[in-house]
A and B are shown apart, each in its own frame.
Chain A
Amino acid sequence: MTDILIVEDEQAILESLEFILTRCGWSVDVARDGEAALEAALRIRPRMLLLDIMLPKRGGLDVLKTLRSNEATASTLVVILTARGQQYDRQAAMDLKADGFITKPYANGDVVNAVRRILESQPSPAAHA
């Protein structure tokens, strides 16, 4: 069971996030563009997506909207990661029921804390089962 799917097109950021989150004990998978992210979200059913907004092929907000409209993925946790810190991006993300919003550049601890808090706010599907 994959805990987190990291969706990020910048190789260096992807690598650092993968390192940090794996070190904390979560299982992690990666996608490098919007379409790959949607495909992976359906296929591997991660508990959470760390989703960049500026992505090739399909933007992050578009991916979020599609996830929310599909029953299978509607309740998947989504944390938006973006280098565009504008208010309207944050507002758009909240409107689409994103569960968190982190602005680049960030402190590694902030990402880990946010991910942990949000994962713990919702009981794991395993517990339900």
Chain B
Amino acid sequence: MLSPDFVILTAVGYVGLLFLLAYLSDARAKSGNAGFLSSPVVYTLSISVYCTSWTFYGAVGTAARNGLEFAAIYMGPTLVFVGWWFLLRKLIRIAHSQHITSIADFLSSRFGKSSRLAVLVTLIAVVSITPYIALQLKAITTSIQTVSVAKGDGTDHLATLDEVTLALGVAIGMAVFTILFGTRNVDAREQHPGVVAAIAFEAVVKLLALVAVGVFVVFGVSGGISDIYARAVEAGVRIHENEPFGSRWVAVMFLSACAVICLPRQFQITVVENSNEDHLRTAAWAFPSYMLVMSVFTMPIALYGLSTMPAGSNPDMFVLTLPMVTGHDALALFVFIGGFSSATSMIIVASIALSIMVSNHIVVPLALRAVPLGEESGERNIARLLLRSRRISIAGMLLLGFLYFWLTQDSDALAPIGLISFAGVAQILPAMLAALYWRRATMKGALAGISAGFIVWAWTLFLPSFASFSPTMAELVADGPWGVGVLRPEALFGMADMDPLVHSVFWSVLANVSTLLCVSVATSQNALERIQASLFVDVFRRSPSFQPRIIRGSASTSELFFVAERVLGWGRARALFDSAGVPHRQAAPQHGVSADFIARLERELAGSIGSASAHILLTKAVAGDTISLEEMMQIADETQQAIEYSHALELKSQELHSTAQQLKEANALLQDLHRQKDDFLSQVSHELRTPMTSIRSFAEILMVPEDLTLEQRVRFIGTIHNESVRLTRLLDEILDLSALEHGERGWENVPVDAEEVLDQAIAVCEALAKKRFVLIESGTRAGSCFVLADTGRLSQVFINIIANAISHNDSEKPVVHVVSRFMADSYVVEISDNGPGIPPQYHNKIFEKFVRAEPDTMSDSQGLGLGLNISHKIIDKLNGRLELTRGALPGACFRIVLPVCQEAGPTAIAEKA
């Protein structure tokens, strides 16, 4: 058994260790030797400040009461880090470029550096986080009471303390510790590397503690997971009674997702303390993994506790009581330190974040309003004011937490308190999303939306949480205000059957989002809002250095230095002025400084006192020199236009590029066509000159007929005649080819009986065949067969191929063989001969223009090299194929394949019959 004194002293010792760690880390960071401290691992571990004592102790309690509901608390953040990392990246990018100090500062800056919005978000944060801090106090107090047992001999001074006194002591201790921790430095900058290091260390301690107790329960005292389940079933634990995946589960998951973005401490750690955007890549998988390890033993511990611990024991404390009942005090103490770690890390970060918000958004603006700027007095130094107000806010936060604890101490469970906080901060999410992605969202919209959601939350969830100690409140919950049942906090408008949490989330988010949308649409933005909206929404579309200059600079440097010194302290102010090359003690006021420098100074100041306060301060300092409304509108419009213009330019240049590409291709095609045309003309010219040559030559010979015999004269005149015919045919074919290539009018595809056309073609060729003593024999024929074709053109192809087969055939017994058949929906004709065949080197180009396979020795019959090209084109147009193949006879064999016309065929045949 551990004595209370020993436990408390251990806790104090542990806090001392943390302090030392933070101190050393700060020193290292200051010397510029951050090393491991600025690694993604430390960043990820510090994000796990999400896992507070609520998850440390309460997850087991939730699992014992509500089954798998505890998993939803982990699912939400996992979804955000795995699926919505781009949102976090945008947050971080904006926060870095704008020197954002807190979530209130973020929203205020986005909505025109509005002080009102900053104050509202700060107040909401304070009210929402108060129960959460109370929760941590309760967890620490309860765990101290659980883990230690007074000896009763009077040696333990602390044993006599009751719960409330103990909690007060813890609150005071934590306040002192946090003040020492978080506001040690006079330099009130936005980042705290020492705190982050301590938080990361605590993250390791709490993980190890929870895993240790998990391993102890699963493998130490029981025989593994299956044994635990068997015992639970035996003990009558109703494992499967609660249906976890209902509306409440979804609501809890939604709230936890909101929380990991909007909780002030999460924003502080994830966004403000982030030193490198790339760390998010690691955190995106490592943080969910951390939570997975945290949650893996939750269910077994809960089941084991339920089945072995006496009825009525607090399931929230199972992780402590299970080692204790088996006498493992050392393990219990370690677990206590783990729980203490989770509670202290939350309290430290939350109260630092809240104190920054309170001092920047409430105290400093009030002070600025109250104090004329000109008075230079040590007491009114803003940096000191900041530190002082932060210290007081921290103490105030813990006091509020304690009060809440005191008022609600009768409730045993940890989880419901945490969920009340989550639902409160969730009211910030709609405005946050609008800030990031909806350019038109206005300050008034955000203000109204957050207010509406917050009021509904306070009415439906926050006030009812006091019902246990206040009879007035209990009455209100039961009957509604003044007996108006419609307004009952947990049954608005008669929705009585819902879970109170789901009920509150539904109404508050509905009120929040709809008000945000309606008011944003109904109101308009002022110039500063428009500038900031564009800076936030388009943060990835501009260079990091881009900052609009809103305050025009003609203030003297000495005035500016005076302001800077008061906020940043002399050292930092001087360093800033020196690095910008601005003399900091410029006596002559007519020497203005650049607007760029003023913008930079404003960002630096914002890093200490928030953007709204920094803006007010500088506006005051350069009073009379701020830009007029018209100029601001112009800047906003120019910014917007520049973005749109550059976007349009980008599109345009892509367009031009693709047009250029298309033109290039078209040009290449045209050049190719041009060359083909040249070749064709050259060929045509050659083909025309050849018959012309012999005609002219023989005509000249015949001009002097006396020298010639009659026989010679007849022969020469015959040649002239043949060559003239050849010339005419050549011209016809050229025109024909041109018609085919340019798309002929009057070409009509109708169902025709191809066999009939083939028969007619054979008949036409008979005359030529007789003259050349060639035999045309028909082999097996398909019989009637309909294809879609133009009769004249199809006939032309048949005649051309048969005539070729006749005139190229120099065999002794020349034969042309024609067969046709059906083959798989196609009509196939093969025309072969026993002539010399086509030499192999011509097989590939026989269908090209002006290609002839043999020397022209029989000029009366020769084609001109266009016939097969024309035939090929025609068959192409009929969706068929004309090809050279191997036939039964030794010579050439041409095959024509045409698709059979399915529809028209039978009817046409029927008509014929």
**Could you tell me the distance between the alpha carbons of A106 and B696 in the complex, rounded to whole angstroms?**
8
Decide yes or no whether B152 CB sits under 8 A from chain A.
Answer: no
Residues of B within 8 A of A17 (CB): 697
- Stretch from B375-383, B418-426, B681-689, B795-803 forming part of the interface with A: B681-689
Judge whether A20 and B701 touch: CB under 8 Å: yes
Residues of B within 8 A of A104 (CB): 689-690, 692-693
Judge whether A10 and B686 touch: CB under 8 Å: no
Decide yes or no whether B26 CB sits under 8 A from chain A.
Answer: no
Max chain B Cβ within 10 angstroms of own Cβ: one of A12, A32, A54, A83: A12
Map CB proximity to A onto B714-725 as digits: 1 under 8 Å, 0 otherwise: 001001001100
The residue from B692, B719, B855, B858 contacting A105, defined by CB atoms under 8 A apart: B692
**Could you tell me the distance between the alpha carbons of A48 and B421 in the complex, rounded to whole angstroms?**
113
Can you name the residue of chain B whose Cβ is closest to the Cβ of A33?
Answer: B855
Q: What is the number of contacts between chain A and chain B, taking CB atoms within 8 Å?
A: 72
Main secondary structure of the interface of A (DSSP, over half): loop
Judge whether B689 and A83 touch: CB under 8 Å: yes
Decide yes or no whether B856 CB sits under 8 A from chain A.
Answer: yes
Q: How far is the CB of A25 from chain B (nearest CB, A)?
A: 13
Residues of B within 8 A of A106 (CB): 693, 696-697
Decide yes or no whether B694 CB sits under 8 A from chain A.
Answer: yes
Can you name the residue of chain B whose Cβ is closest to the Cβ of A17?
Answer: B697
Provided the pairs A32-B857, A56-B855, A105-B692 are in contact, do residues A13 and B697 lie with their beta carbons within 8 angstroms? yes
Judge whether A11 and B856 touch: CB under 8 Å: yes
Which residues 836-858 of B have a CB within 8 angstroms of A? 854-858
Decide yes or no whether B894 CB sits under 8 A from chain A.
Answer: no
Judge whether A108 and B701 touch: CB under 8 Å: yes
Map CB proximity to B onto A101-123 as digits: 1 under 8 Å, 0 otherwise: 00011111100000000000000
Map CB proximity to B onto A1-38 as digits: 1 under 8 Å, 0 otherwise: 00000000111110111011001000000001100000
Residues of B within 8 A of A56 (CB): 854-855
Provided the pairs A23-B707, A56-B854 are in contact, do residues A108 and B697 lie with their beta carbons within 8 angstroms? yes
Residues of B within 8 A of A19 (CB): 701, 712
Interface size class of B (residues with CB under 8 A): 20 to 34
**Could you tell me the distance between the alpha carbons of A17 and B856 in the complex, rounded to whole angstroms?**
17
Residues of A within 8 A of B160 (CB): none
Main secondary structure of the interface of B (DSSP, over half): helix
Residues of A within 8 A of B855 (CB): 9, 32-33, 56
Residues of A within 8 A of B858 (CB): 11
**Could you tell me the distance between the alpha carbons of A19 and B716 in the complex, rounded to whole angstroms?**
11
Judge whether A86 and B682 touch: CB under 8 Å: yes
Judge whether A20 and B690 touch: CB under 8 Å: no
Judge whether B686 and A107 touch: CB under 8 Å: no
Provided the pairs A83-B693, A84-B685 are in contact, do residues A11 and B859 lie with their beta carbons within 8 angstroms? yes
**Could you tell me the distance between the alpha carbons of A9 and B854 in the complex, rounded to whole angstroms?**
10
**Could you tell me the distance between the alpha carbons of A9 and B852 in the complex, rounded to whole angstroms?**
13
Provided the pairs A20-B701, A108-B700 are in contact, do residues A12 and B686 lie with their beta carbons within 8 angstroms? no
Map CB proximity to A onto B289-328 as digits: 1 under 8 Å, 0 otherwise: 0000000000000000000000000000000000000000
**Could you tell me the distance between the alpha carbons of A3 and B859 in the complex, rounded to whole angstroms?**
27
**Could you tell me the distance between the alpha carbons of A127 and B651 in the complex, rounded to whole angstroms?**
85
Judge whether A105 and B856 touch: CB under 8 Å: no
Judge whether A84 and B686 touch: CB under 8 Å: yes
Judge whether B694 and A10 touch: CB under 8 Å: yes
Judge whether A15 and B700 touch: CB under 8 Å: no
Q: How far is the CB of A38 from chain B (nearest CB, A)?
A: 16
Residues of B within 8 A of A107 (CB): 696, 700
Q: How far is the CB of A101 from chain B (nearest CB, A)?
A: 14
Q: How far is the CB of B32 from chain A (nearest CB, A)?
A: 77
The residue from B682, B692, B697, B707 contacting A16, defined by CB atoms under 8 A apart: B697
Q: How far is the CB of A113 from chain B (nearest CB, A)?
A: 13
Which residues 43-65 of A have a CB within 8 angstroms of B? 54, 56
Judge whether B685 and A85 touch: CB under 8 Å: yes
Residues of B within 8 A of A83 (CB): 685-686, 689-690, 693
Map CB proximity to B onto A69-105 as digits: 1 under 8 Å, 0 otherwise: 0000000000000011110000000000000000011
Can you name the residue of chain A whose Cβ is closest to the Cβ of B726?
Answer: A12
**Could you tell me the distance between the alpha carbons of A32 and B857 in the complex, rounded to whole angstroms?**
9
Residues of B within 8 A of A109 (CB): 700
Decide yes or no whether B698 CB sits under 8 A from chain A.
Answer: yes
Judge whether A84 and B701 touch: CB under 8 Å: no
Residues of A within 8 A of B690 (CB): 10, 13, 83, 104
Residues of A within 8 A of B719 (CB): 12, 15-16
**Could you tell me the distance between the alpha carbons of A106 and B694 in the complex, rounded to whole angstroms?**
9
Residues of A within 8 A of B692 (CB): 104-105
Can you name the residue of chain A whose Cβ is closest to the Cβ of B722?
Answer: A12
**Could you tell me the distance between the alpha carbons of A16 and B715 in the complex, rounded to whole angstroms?**
11
Q: How far is the CB of B281 from chain A (nearest CB, A)?
A: 66
Map CB proximity to A onto B660-704 as digits: 1 under 8 Å, 0 otherwise: 000000000000000000000010011001111111111011000
Q: How far is the CB of B829 from chain A (nearest CB, A)?
A: 31
Max chain B Cβ within 10 angstroms of own Cβ: one of A10, A17, A20, A108: A10
Q: How far is the CB of B185 from chain A (nearest CB, A)?
A: 89
Judge whether B723 and A12 touch: CB under 8 Å: yes
Judge whether B686 and A16 touch: CB under 8 Å: no
Residues of A within 8 A of B856 (CB): 9-11
**Could you tell me the distance between the alpha carbons of A56 and B855 in the complex, rounded to whole angstroms?**
6
Provided the pairs A19-B701, A56-B855 are in contact, do residues A13 and B682 lie with their beta carbons within 8 angstroms? no
Q: How far is the CB of B849 from chain A (nearest CB, A)?
A: 15
Judge whether A13 and B686 touch: CB under 8 Å: no
Residues of B within 8 A of A54 (CB): 686
Can you name the residue of chain B whose Cβ is closest to the Cβ of A54?
Answer: B686
Q: How far is the CB of B679 from chain A (nearest CB, A)?
A: 11
Can you name the residue of chain A whose Cβ is closest to the Cβ of B857?
Answer: A11
Q: How far is the CB of A23 from chain B (nearest CB, A)?
A: 7
Judge whether A10 and B689 touch: CB under 8 Å: no
**Could you tell me the distance between the alpha carbons of A13 and B405 in the complex, rounded to whole angstroms?**
121
**Could you tell me the distance between the alpha carbons of A16 and B717 in the complex, rounded to whole angstroms?**
12
Judge whether B693 and A13 touch: CB under 8 Å: yes
Residues of A within 8 A of B685 (CB): 83-85
Judge whether B701 and A16 touch: CB under 8 Å: yes
Q: How far is the CB of A57 from chain B (nearest CB, A)?
A: 8
Can you name the residue of chain B whose Cβ is closest to the Cβ of A53?
Answer: B686
Q: How far is the CB of A84 from chain B (nearest CB, A)?
A: 5
Judge whether A12 and B696 touch: CB under 8 Å: no
**Could you tell me the distance between the alpha carbons of A5 and B859 in the complex, rounded to whole angstroms?**
21
Residues of A within 8 A of B857 (CB): 11, 32
**Could you tell me the distance between the alpha carbons of A79 and B858 in the complex, rounded to whole angstroms?**
26
Judge whether A105 and B696 touch: CB under 8 Å: yes
Residues of A within 8 A of B697 (CB): 13, 16-17, 20, 105-106, 108
Residues of B within 8 A of A13 (CB): 690, 693-694, 697
Q: How far is the CB of B132 from chain A (nearest CB, A)?
A: 93
Which residues 372-426 of B have a CB within 8 angstroms of A? none
Q: How far is the CB of B83 from chain A (nearest CB, A)?
A: 70
Provided the pairs A54-B686, A56-B855, A83-B686 are in contact, do residues A105 and B701 lie with their beta carbons within 8 angstroms? no
Q: How far is the CB of B857 from chain A (nearest CB, A)?
A: 6
What 6 A-B pairs have minimum CB-CB distances, sorted nearest first?
A: A12-B694, A83-B689, A16-B697, A104-B693, A105-B693, A56-B855
Q: What are 13 sample pairs from A and B whose C-beta atoms fall under 8 A apart?
A: A10-B694, A11-B857, A12-B691, A12-B722, A12-B723, A16-B694, A16-B698, A17-B697, A23-B707, A33-B855, A83-B689, A85-B689, A105-B696
Q: 6 new A-B pairs (CB below 8 Å) besides A12-B723, A105-B695?
A: A12-B719, A12-B859, A83-B690, A104-B690, A105-B693, A108-B697
